[in-house]
Structure 1
Amino acid sequence: MQLNADQVQNALPWDSLIEALREIFVRADVRSPIRHHHTLEVPGEPAATLLLMPAWIEGEYLGVKQVNVFPGNNTRHLPGLSSHYMLSCGKTGRPLALLDGNELTARRTAAASALASQFLSRADASQLLMVGAGRMGRRLIPAHMSVRPIQTVQVWDRNEAAAAALVAELTASDIDARVCSRDQLQEVAGTADIISCATMATEPVVFGDWLKPGAHLDLVGSFTPSMRETDNVAMQRCAVFVDTRAGALSETGDLIMPIREGAIGADKILAELAELCRGQHAGRAALADAEQAVTLFKSVGDSREDLAAAILAFRNQG
C-alpha cells in the first residue's frame, strides 16, 4: 500500500490522531531509539543529510522515517527536503505501507501540540495567535481548534502576504481569522490565550514579557541549537514542558541557549509528553495558581508520534 500526501491527510483526522498519540505515549512496549544523522557528500554541491527515525511496538509494528535534506536542490528549483515512512509488520518484517513523510510529519507535529494543549492551556482558551503562515501553521490552527473552543485566530508572518493568504483560506472555511500586522504582534500576543509558533527564526519572535497570565505558548519551529522563537524571560517565567527531554536538550536553541547563558537549568523542564499522558504530571492542573500560570510546550519531534500516525493511517486505509 502506498499513500500520497492527500491520502495521508484524509486518513488522519485530528481527533483520532491526537488520541493515537496519547495511547502510544502510555504504552510500555514501544521502542524509539535516538534518530540517526548521517552526512552525505554530493560532488560539486553542498553536503546532504540523511535522517533515520525508527520506532517499533514489539510483535506488532515496525516503522522508520527517512528524511533526505539536499540543499543543492535549490539550484534545481526542487524542494530541499523529502521524506517517506515505511511501516512494516512487527512479527514478520513484511512491508505494509509506504506513506508520504512530509504530510505525516506535519500532521503528527500539530497533533502533538494539540495533545499538549489539552494538558497545558486553559480549557476556556478562545483566542489563538498563529506565528508563521507556512505548512505547519496551516495544520496547527485546526489541530488547536479541535481541542479548545477557539473563536478567533490571528495570523502573523514576516511576509504579510503569506499571512493574508492563510487568513483568506481560514475565512473561506468560516473561521473568524484576521491578519496580525507586523507592528501589532506585541499587542495581539498580549491578549492571546494560545500562541503557536512555527517559524525558521534564529532570534526571538515572541517575548516572555508579552504573555498574559494564563497564556499557553506552543513552540514548534526551532529544531537546531542555533534556532529559537522565544527569549530567556519566557523560559524563566513559564512552566516548561517538552515532547522529550533528550531531544529538546540536544536539538533546540529555545532551551540550549538559555541553559548555556545560565538563565535556566535543565531542571526547568517539569515533564515530557509521555509523563503527561501517563498521569505522572497533571500539567496546568498541578501548577500553583493554575488559572494564572503561564505554560510553554516545546516540541522537536519523536519517532513514536510518526509510528502512531502511520499505524492509524494504515488502519484507516485498510
Structure 2
Amino acid sequence: MRIISSGDIDTSLTDRDAVEILRQAFRSPVKAPDPINLNISRPQDLTGQFLVQPVWSDFAGQGHTDRGYIGCSLSLALPEQEGGSSNLYILFSGKGGQPIALLDGVRLAAWRDAGLHALAVAYLSREDAQRLLIVGSDPRLPRLLAAYSAVRNITSVLFAGTDKEIRRRIAGMPDLAQITARTTDDIGSALEGADIVCLAGKNAGTNAWADLSRFDPPAGCHIDTLFADPPLPEMIWQDARLFTTHLGSAPRDGCEWTAGLTELAMGERAGRRYYGQRTLYVPGYETGLADFALAAHVFLKS
C-alpha cells in the first residue's frame, strides 16, 4: 500500500485541475451513500464525532470490475482539537479489494474545499467578477483564493478581520502576484464594490463573527460562505438564489434551495439567471464524492 503525503498531494494537483476533476465527479455515476456520523462518548463533556464517508465506482453500471476504486474518508473531531480534525483517506482496488493507498486527509480536504467553492464560483459568480471581499479568517484562505483565481480574473482583494499571517502567506504566493490586496474595517463601504464576498468565519483576534446585521451586497454579487451557518440577515436568505453541495443534505431548513453542484454540473439547473441576481453558496457536510475523485486522481499521478 502506498502512503501519499501532503507534499505528494500538492505536486499532483493544480487549482484548475482540481476544479475540473470535481466538475466531472458531479457528472459521474459513482455510488456515494449517506455519510455515517457517530458520536464518541467521552467523560467531562469531551464527546467527539467520527465521520465515515464511503464511495465506490459504479461497477454494476459499467458491467465489470477491471477498473475503478472503493474509497473511504475518515474524519475524527474532538473538542480538544479546537475546531480542527484528524483526517485520513483510504483507497482500495475495485478489482481485488486490497488497500492501495493511504492519503493525508487534512491536505486532501484543503484541496477539496477550495475546489468545491471555486466550482461554485465558476457557476454562480458573474464572468467579469474581479473584486473580492473576504470577511473573517480561516486557514484555508490561501488555497481558496488560488482556486478562485483559477476560475475568475481576481484583481483586487479586501480583507476584513483576516489574520495577518494568512494575509502574509497569500501575498507570498506567486500565482497571486497580480492581485492588489488591502485591509478594511468598513465592511459596508467594501460591499459596495464587491463582485464576490467570501464569508470566512470569525474575525482574527476577537473570535467573533463580524456584525452582518446590515449585510447588503450589491446586485449581481455572489456570496460564498465557508460554513453552513453564517449569521446572515434573513433578507439575504429570502432574496438570494440559494445553492449548496448536495440538495439532499441542504444545511438550513425553511429555505428554497435551487440546486446542488450535481444539478449545476449536469446542466439540469441554471446558476445565475440574470446579471444583477445575487447568489449564495452554502456548503454541506457531504464531501465523500469530492474526496474520492481527488484521491483517485492523486493516486494515479503520484
Residue 232 (1) aligns with residue 234 (2): yes
Provide the rounded CA distance (Å) in 2 between the counterparts of 1:89 and 1:305. 18
Residue 70 (1) aligns with residue 78 (2): yes
| 2:226 aligned to which of 205, 220, 231 | 220
Distance 1:172 1:313, change over 3 A: closer
Question: Are the aligned partners of 1:194 and 1:216 in contact in 2 as well (CA < 8 Å)?
Answer: yes
2:106 match: 102
For 1:11, give the aligned amino acid.
S
Distance 1:304 1:205, change over 3 A: farther
Question: Are the aligned partners of 1:164 and 1:179 in contact in 2 as well (CA < 8 Å)?
Answer: no
| 1:303 aligned to which of 285, 288, 300 | 288
RMSD of aligned Cα (Å): 2.4
For 1:69, give the aligned amino acid.
A
Distance 1:26 1:147, change over 3 A: same
1:189 match: 191
For 1:197, give the aligned amino acid.
L
Distance 1:205 1:276, change over 3 A: farther
2:28 match: 27
Distance 1:273 1:202, change over 3 A: farther
- Name the structure with the higher helix share: 1
1:291 match: 275
Distance 1:164 1:106, change over 3 A: closer
Question: Are the aligned partners of 2:136 and 2:210 in contact in 1 as well (CA < 8 Å)?
Answer: no
For 2:295, give the aligned amino acid.
A
Secondary structure of 1:68's counterpart equals strand
Paired residues, number:
288
Distance 1:238 1:45, change over 3 A: closer
Superposition TM-score, scaled by structure 1 size = 0.82
2:267 match: 279
Cα deviation, residue 309, structure 1: 0.9
Residue 61 (1) aligns with residue 72 (2): no
Provide the rounded CA distance (Å) in 2 between the counterparts of 1:203 and 1:233. 18
Cα deviation, residue 62, structure 1: 0.9
1:89 match: 93
Cα deviation, residue 162, structure 1: 4.5
Residue 165 (1) aligns with residue 173 (2): no
Superposition TM-score, scaled by structure 2 size = 0.86
Provide the rounded CA distance (Å) in 1 between the counterparts of 2:81 and 2:270. 45
Provide the rounded CA distance (Å) in 1 between the counterparts of 2:26 and 2:81. 36
1:230-267 Cα deviation digits (max 9, x unpaired)? 22111111111111122224xxxxx34xx3xxxxx4xx
* Range with greater deviation from structure 2 (102-111 or 206-215): 206-215
Question: Are the aligned partners of 2:142 and 2:166 in contact in 1 as well (CA < 8 Å)?
Answer: no
Question: Are the aligned partners of 2:131 and 2:155 in contact in 1 as well (CA < 8 Å)?
Answer: yes
1:103-252 equivalences under 5 Å are: 103-157=107-161, 159=163, 161-162=164-165, 164-166=167-169, 168-169=171-172, 173-181=176-184, 183-199=185-201, 206=212, 209-222=215-228, 227-249=229-251
Provide the rounded CA distance (Å) in 2 between the counterparts of 1:167 and 1:130. 12
Give the unaligned 5+ runs of structure 1: 250-254, 260-264
Cα deviation, residue 22, structure 1: 0.9
Give the unaligned 5+ runs of structure 2: 60-67
Cα deviation, residue 194, structure 1: 0.8
2:65 match: none
Cα deviation, residue 121, structure 1: 0.6
